[in-house]
Amino acid sequence: MSSEENNLIEILEEGHKVDIAKYIDYVTTPQAGAIATFSGTTRDTFEGKTVMELRYEAYVPMATRYLSSICASARSNWDIHKIAVAHRLGAVPVGETSVFVAVSSVHRGDGLDACKFLIDELKASVPIWKKEVYANGEVWKENAEFLEKRLELAETRGSLVKKHVAGEHKRSCCGSKVRVQEDEDHTDIAGDNKE
């Protein structure tokens, strides 16, 4: 059985709740001595504001591809039997589950580490967007993991661009079209600085 056949990835349409027992049953196997899970639920407050619900939107085909890729990465790093990932779309009231991850493995260490990796990567890179609805308003939110990953990518990109441009193109035929700013904070190539 291929590793993709051992993944259950579901983006649930509005109105469908996460069936935790279904995903635990899916990952249960006689070879696994451990099942690690994560359940993300809507809480009732955020920074002193009363939360009424969360609302999620996604580009489902891309979200599914990203989740498949994340599952493959987890399998390449840990000895895992089965993975289940589910995420709701639409309104998720206080106290209900919006995202659930389950991982089965021979030993708990692999399962726990893979489960943490899966939820962290989901939050950092999967195109699922969240709106927090408060008693007195609403706001679209970026996950802290997404912001951290974007910063890491920008730093990596900036470092590579600096090395490439500063090392090979200090005297460019393009004159003012290529500007190299060799400080630690910014690199701008032809006005293409993505911060």
Question: What is the tens place of the pLDDT at every residue in 136-189?
Answer: 999 887 766 555 666 665 676 665 544 444 444 433 333 333 333 334 443 443
Give domain 7-143's CATH architecture: Alpha-Beta Complex (3.90)
Domain map of the chain by residue range?
7-143
CA distance linking residue 66 with residue 60, whole number of Å? 10
Q: What is the pTM of this model?
A: 0.74
Q: Can you say which residues are annotated as belonging to the binding site?
A: 107-108, 123, 130-132
- What is the predicted pLDDT for the residue at 140? 86
Extract the annotated binding site for substrate: 107-108, 123, 130-132
Structure tokens at 14: 């509005």
* Contact call for residues 137 and 74 (beta carbons, < 8 A): no
Which has the minimum average pLDDT: 23-32, 36-45, 119-128, 178-187? 178-187
Phi, psi of 19 (to 5 degrees): -95, 90
Q: Tell me what the pLDDT averaged over the chain comes to.
A: 82
* Residue 79: closest CA among 56, 47, 113: 113
CB within 8 A of 129, min separation 6: which ones? 56, 57, 58, 140
